[in-house]
Structure 1
Amino acid sequence: MKKSILGVLALSVFVAPAFACTGISLKAKDGSIIFARTIEDSQNDLYSEYVVIPRGQKLFSFTPTGEKGLEFTAKYGVLGLSVVQKEFIAEGINEAGLESGLFFFPRYGSYQAYSSDSRKSSIGDLQLNQWMLTQFATVDEVKEGLKNVRVVGLEPNSVVHYRIGDASGRQVVLEFIDGKAHFHENTVGVITNAPSFDWHLTNLNNYINLQPGNADEQKLSKQPLHALGHNSGMLGLPGDATP
């Protein structure tokens, strides 16, 4: 288990306040969904590489103590992009159309405590994408499957949450808070970092006045008012592009 311990030690170097991500989704004309993301880490090399997992490959999870955790066999082929080491898939998709990505979730999330007695049902947080993508085809299958495993943190500062989507176009956000799994329907198709996803949905109400393009002309009494430049519909958004 030397490799797993080295991987966790290496990860502790990379998980820092500078590591932030944004995920979006786009709907194509034919109705298909395209998932996209950024990975901002200005201080470190994440040693990312493409990962291919064929059907039938035998896999296992690392644990915080270096013991072998949950063992499983890939039911679906997977293509992904890893961070730090190949087992830690940051973003991936399987042959059934299930997509999953992890995003930094500092200070607000926490997992179940690890116990050697439950190691055979324990999956490390940074390998959860690997497990979900190799085992399931839909969001509902993921939700049911999670009832049978314990998700544990491989490193104290590596708390993450997950965007999960399937071929139907449905998207959810999975967060672990106080050791419990919380699923949020993601109807806006966007995810970022902390706080929790429900807070971000509420925060959208602060920007109800925003709209694409330019604001319509108005009148104040008899005085006509018009935009002084482009993108006035986004006036008030932090970093907006108005003159």
Structure 2
Amino acid sequence: MSRFRLSYFIVSCLFVLMTLGFSSVSQACTGMRVKAKDGSLVFARSMEFGTQTESDLMVAPRGMTWTSQAPDGSKGLHWKSKYAFVGPDGLTMKRPLEGINEKGLYVGGFWMPAGEAAFPNLDPADYSKAVSQLDFVARLLSTCATVDEVRAEVSGMKLAGVEIKQLNLLPLAHWTALDSTGRMIAIESIGGKVAITDNPVGVFTNAPYFAWHLEHLRMYINLRPDNVDSAQIGDYRMKPFGEGSGLIGLPGDLTPPSRFVRAAFFADSALTPADADGAVTLGMNLIAAFSIPTGVSRGTGSDGKPEYDFTQWTTVYDLSRKVVYFRTYDNQDYRKVRFDALPLDGTAPRFIPMWNVKPSYRDVSDQAKSAQ
């Protein structure tokens, strides 16, 4: 093995070990855009976390006031919601981790490990204008209607990092935004500088930074949804073992780079649905391939105890009809929330239970009596 190949192998192994072994919280979130032939748009996302988020679905009305936090714990930016939005909160913070608003804009945060991201160091003179990473999603969903408006808002924002007491750390993140036209961007703070990048593939995961993932896709340029008929070496003709031979080499591990490649290929190869109903169904089926059972991904928390990164909830957003579908680890039945059935004006949020809601499996045994 050459020195270059050996160095590359060592770096690759270290990267995988760091990604799999990083302690606590979310390393495995995946998001995917789905477009239908009639223009309908859906975004599906899985939420993985090592600590139980105990999330509920937050309904934040128009007219609600928000006050963000500055790095020193003082009050940051204060504003009033222009648009209502719906999205899961977490860790009893009553702050959305992702969601869509009444204009069909989606914004979602995805975990980044230490060393992969760094928030700007704000001048104390700007603390009163600070928007913490915990309020980033709320700020954009409550004030922006399009990706262009998100760009403008972020370019003038005083983004700040603050500590979460429940996790005893300052969580890092990067974000994706998608509007009703299908335009999608990545928003990242790398080395203390905030950058916005167009997302031409419509999928999103975790570390490294987004542009790296696009370059990494080139490693899998050979992948095809079509089966390989046969191949020949010398006088030996090889036949495939079965279906999926065009996908040989598709990474199947749980690291963010591998999930990005898998999500990009699945989303691009799946047959385009005809309408919104088909897009929702496809989104549910696509994101199901990224669900992680408890115990498959293991790490150690900051308290030294074992932690298991697992899919705590899955969301599917119909941006065209303003409908949110969600299910949780303990309740695999999708539940639906419609914007047109919600109170969208007010001064305080409302919450729809997600956590600790047991499934009500429909018993269809009696159908056997008439199925003759």
Shared topology, TM-score over 0.5?
A: yes
- Tell me the equivalent position of 1:45: 52
- Tell me the equivalent position of 1:6: none
1:63 aligns with 2:75: no
- Tell me the equivalent position of 2:282: none
- Greater C-alpha radius of gyration: 2
Q: Contact between 2:89 and 2:97, CA under 8 Å: does it hold in 1?
A: yes
- Tell me the equivalent position of 1:26: 34
Aligned residue pairs, count: 225
1:182 aligns with 2:195: yes
Whole-Å separation in 1 of the counterparts to 2:93 and 2:179:
23
Q: Contact between 2:61 and 2:83, CA under 8 Å: does it hold in 1?
A: yes
Identity %: 37
Q: Contact between 1:70 and 1:122, CA under 8 Å: does it hold in 2?
A: yes
- Tell me the equivalent position of 2:110: 103
In structure 2, the CA distance between the partners of 1:119 and 1:79, relative to structure 1 (3 Å rule), is same
Whole-Å separation in 2 of the counterparts to 1:147 and 1:120:
17
Whole-Å separation in 1 of the counterparts to 2:144 and 2:214:
27
Structure 1, gaps ≥5 residues long = 1-14
1:91 aligns with 2:104: no
Q: Contact between 1:175 and 1:181, CA under 8 Å: does it hold in 2?
A: yes
Whole-Å separation in 2 of the counterparts to 1:33 and 1:56:
27
SS in structure 1 opposite 2:208?
coil
1:57-86 Cα distance to aligned partner (Å, 9 max, x none): 111112232211100110111111112234
SS in structure 2 opposite 1:75?
coil
- Tell me the equivalent position of 2:224: 211
Alignment of 1:189-208 (within 5 A): 189-208=202-221
In structure 2, the CA distance between the partners of 1:16 and 1:138, relative to structure 1 (3 Å rule), is farther
- Tell me the equivalent position of 1:160: 173
Corresponding residue to 1:82 among 79, 89, 114: 89
1:161-213 Cα distance to aligned partner (Å, 9 max, x none): 00101111000010011222111111111111111111110000111111125
In structure 2, the CA distance between the partners of 1:131 and 1:112, relative to structure 1 (3 Å rule), is same
- Tell me the equivalent position of 1:4: none
**Paired amino acid for 1:183:** I
Q: Contact between 2:70 and 2:128, CA under 8 Å: does it hold in 1?
A: no
Corresponding residue to 1:138 among 146, 150, 154: 146
Whole-Å separation in 1 of the counterparts to 2:150 and 2:24:
29
- Tell me the equivalent position of 2:158: 150
- Tell me the equivalent position of 2:245: 232
Q: TM-score, normalised by structure 1?
A: 0.86
CA RMSD of aligned residues (A): 1.9
Whole-Å separation in 1 of the counterparts to 2:64 and 2:97:
19
Q: Contact between 1:87 and 1:130, CA under 8 Å: does it hold in 2?
A: no
Whole-Å separation in 1 of the counterparts to 2:23 and 2:89:
17
1:222, CA displacement in angstroms? 5.9
1:223, CA displacement in angstroms? 4.6
Whole-Å separation in 1 of the counterparts to 2:246 and 2:234:
22
Larger RCO, structures 1/2 (Cα 8 Å, 6+ apart)? 2
Structure 2, gaps ≥5 residues long = 1-21, 164-168, 254-372
Q: Contact between 2:25 and 2:51, CA under 8 Å: does it hold in 1?
A: no
Corresponding residue to 1:126 among 129, 134, 149: 134
SS in structure 1 opposite 2:97?
strand
Q: In proportion to residue count, which structure has more strand?
A: 1
Where has structure 1 moved over 6 Å in runs of 4 or more? none
SS in structure 1 opposite 2:134?
helix
Q: Contact between 2:24 and 2:51, CA under 8 Å: does it hold in 1?
A: no
1:10-64 Cα distance to aligned partner (Å, 9 max, x none): xxxxx944512111111123222211111122x3211211111111111111223
Whole-Å separation in 2 of the counterparts to 1:88 and 1:47:
13
Whole-Å separation in 1 of the counterparts to 2:92 and 2:156:
26
Whole-Å separation in 1 of the counterparts to 2:230 and 2:218:
23
SS in structure 1 opposite 2:75?
coil
Q: Contact between 2:227 and 2:246, CA under 8 Å: does it hold in 1?
A: yes
Whole-Å separation in 1 of the counterparts to 2:187 and 2:87:
19
